Amino acid sequence: MDKEKLTEYNRKRNFDRTLEPEGISEMPRESLRFVVQHHLARRDHYDFRLEWDGTLLSWAVPKGPSYDTRDKRLAVHVEDHPLEYRNFEGTIPKGEYGGGVVMLWDEGYWEPHGDVAEGLGAGMLKFVLKGQRLKGKWALVRLKGKKDEKQENWLLLKEKDEHAAGSDGVSEFTTSIRTGRTMEEIEAGKEWTDGLVIQGIKISNPDKVIFTEPEITKGDVVRYYEKAAERMLPYLSRRVLSIVRCPKGISQTCFYKKHPGPGSKGIVTIPITHSEGKTEDYFYIENISGLIAEAQMGTLEFHTWGSRVDALEKPDLMVFDLDPDEGMELSHVRQGVRDLHSILTELSLNAYLKTSGGKGYHVVVPLKPTAAWEVFHDFARRVAEVMEQKWPDRYTSNVRKAKRKGKIFIDWIRNGRGATSIAPYSIRARKGARVSMPIAWAELDTLAPDSVTMAEALRRIEDKDPWDDFFRNHQQLT
Ligand code: MN
């Protein structure tokens, strides 16, 4: 290995005084790691470090990275750091080089696009970040410098992709990705006692058993939501929620909650006026922090409104729940799903199928947010009534049990303003930790509505998304 690369790093530091690691080059591993450290030194900045050739290529980014593609963040190229530096979090003594507090702000893997050595020479490095907070396509571009300029100035840019956003998406994260500590806590030397930290959020009682047979702990639930987040958030974020919490496990008291508690990161309160004129506070989650914060508080089920908070009065998710009478054969329920699908197809509406995690299936129709609640709700009712008129011995659009003998209730009622339905990828607070799972139409006959467990859901999330074109639909009610 090339020891010279770290000469400057070692020269600047007195390792009898600082706890930073001494610079020794390491053999590179197969995947390339990256780390971002928030460093509150003489100047507040973020150190952006990419593993390459046994060391960490390093840039100091005063404003930190930004998910906004319009932002061009100055990134001052600094000396290579030893690979071991990716584990450094703590305080560098005052008066020493870089004296101040260092927090591990993000970590993960990076994949260069093209030849790295060439890119570094040409001053144009494109890559994909697979961190916990930084994801997607990014670029580092060198600025033309003046002669004799000591440090190279580069720009760190977010490239257009599905992760790009209209805000920096960075300043909301103020805790260590590894220890959950704030800058103040790191500075105070607060020890991190062996807990579980996910997305910088400390998870209390991670070993608490939430489900038995199979045994699933709170830590497992939080990790499930972390892994499901990327798939789940498009259906969950910025939608008013009601949730089911079982902080002591599903065998103990669980409770519904639709009004916010004290504020948490990523959870937003929204006042909503009811039709009778009364205004109450509701809440929604904005990002993965909100999802993890809810899971930390014991939330298992997420139920959402049919509209997003950006257009609260214009719903965009129509859900039909096929709710069979006690003991009905699964083949009849599946026929119900096919019949409903045929009606929607006749209406030229694309629909998607998911398991409910309970007795029935859910058929979901994505719509442009153009119609008002009343129109939306009436449309859903009419679909259920058509089912009932066409096959009166099989289906009912009437919720009353007495009228349901041996029939499937086509539940359209959840399409009203203020009603909610279980979000895709939500765990159900029932025996066996079933998931309301998006599936392909071709799987209707092979997957029972309660057959996808949390473990199976995790396997499926690694596969192709059966709803991958869900948001490419532009259909609307006319
Ligand atoms: Mn620094």
More confident residue, 148 or 32: 32
Q: Give the distance (Å) from ligand 1 centre to CA of residue 265.
A: 26
Residue 290 CA to ligand 1 center (angstroms) comes to: 29
Q: What is the mean pLDDT of the chain?
A: 93
pLDDT tens for residues 71-112? 999 999 999 999 999 999 999 999 999 999 999 999 999 999
d(CA 388, CA 139) in angstroms, rounded, equals 57
Same domain, residue pair 135 and 235: no
Reported as a single tens digit per residue, the pLDDT across 178-192 is 999 999 999 998 876
Q: Could you tell me whether strands 299-304 and 241-245 are parallel, antiparallel, or unpaired per DSSP bridges?
A: antiparallel
Task: Answer yes or no: do 301 and 371 share one domain.
Answer: yes
- Lowest mean pLDDT, pick from 161-170, 378-387, 406-415: 161-170
Tell whether 115 and 208 lie within a shared domain. no
DSSP β-bridge partners for residue 153: 76
Considering the domain architecture, whether residues 160 and 84 belong to the same structural domain is answered as yes
Who's near 19: CB < 8 A, 6+ residues apart?
88, 90, 91, 92
**Mean pLDDT for the stretch of residues 47-75:** 97
- Predicted confidence (pLDDT) per residue in 274-327, tens digit: 988 999 999 999 999 999 999 999 999 999 999 999 999 999 999 999 999 888
Indicate whether 205 and 81 sit together in one domain.
no
Q: Which of 163, 187, 211 corresponds to the end of one domain?
A: 187
Q: Provide the pLDDT for residue 21.
A: 87
CA of 39 to the centre of ligand 1 (A): 5
Domain that holds residue 339: 201-256+287-472
Distance 285 CA to ligand 1 centre (A): 33
The CATH number that applies at residue 342 is 3.90.920.10
Are residue 123 and residue 251 in the same domain, yes or no? no
Say whether both 118 and 246 belong to one domain.
no
Backbone angles phi and psi of 32, in degrees to 5: -95, 130
Taking the C-alpha atoms of residue 399 and residue 385, their distance in angstroms, rounded to an integer, is: 12
pLDDT band at 3 (very low <50, low <70, confident <90, very high): low
- Do 246 and 165 lie in one domain? The reply is no
Reference 219, options 454, 457, 466; nearest CA is 454
Q: How confident is the model at residue 399 (pLDDT cuts 50, 70, 90)?
A: confident
Report the length, in residues, of the chain.
478
Residue 2 has pLDDT above 70, yes or no: no
DSSP state of 217: E
Inside any domain, residue 477: no
Whether residues 24 and 157 share a domain: the answer is yes
In a domain, 193, yes or no: no
Closest CA to 318 of 237, 403, 384, 233: 384
Given a cut of 50, is residue 1 above it in pLDDT? Answer: no
Q: Tell whether the model's pLDDT for residue 477 goes beyond 60.
A: yes
Residue 262 lies in a domain: no
Beta-sheet pairing, 72-82 with 153-158:
antiparallel
Model confidence pLDDT, tens digit, residues 444-474: 999 999 999 999 999 999 999 999 999 999 9
Which of 187, 217, 246 marks a domain boundary?
A: 187
Cα–Cα dist 204/195, whole Å? 7
Distance 157 CA to ligand 1 centre (A): 19
> Is position 76 within any domain?
yes
Rounded to the nearest angstrom, the distance between the alpha carbon of 62 and the centre of ligand 1 is: 9
Q: How many domains does the chain have?
A: 2
Q: What is the pTM of this model?
A: 0.83
Does the pLDDT at position 193 exceed 80?
A: no
Q: 176 and 297, same structural domain?
A: no
The string of pLDDT tens digits covering residues 415-439 is 999 999 999 999 999 999 999 999 9
- The mean pLDDT value for 151-168 works out to 93
Provide the residues around ligand 1 (an ion) whose CB is within 5 A.
39, 47
Per-residue pLDDT band at 212 (split at 50, 70, 90):
very high
Within a domain: 308: yes
Give domain status of residue 323, yes or no.
Answer: yes
- Name the domain boundary from 160, 187, 214: 187
CA of 58 to the centre of ligand 1 (A): 9
Instruction: Please determine, for residue 402, whether its predicted confidence score (pLDDT) is greater than 80.
Output: no
CB 412 within 8 Å of CB 192: no
175's CB contacts (< 8 A; 6+ apart) are: 103, 181, 182, 200, 201
In a shared domain, residues 231 and 171: no
Neighbours of 295 (CB within 10 A): 24
The DSSP bridge pattern shows strands 267-273 and 279-285 to be antiparallel
Asked whether residue 274 is domain-assigned, the answer is no
Specify if 15 maps to a domain: yes
Report the chain's C-alpha Rg in angstroms. Answer: 26
Do both 183 and 219 map to the same domain?
no
Q: Where are the beta strands (DSSP E) in 343-423?
A: 352-355, 361-366, 395-396, 408-411, 421-422
For the cut 80, the answer to whether the pLDDT of residue 257 exceeds it is yes
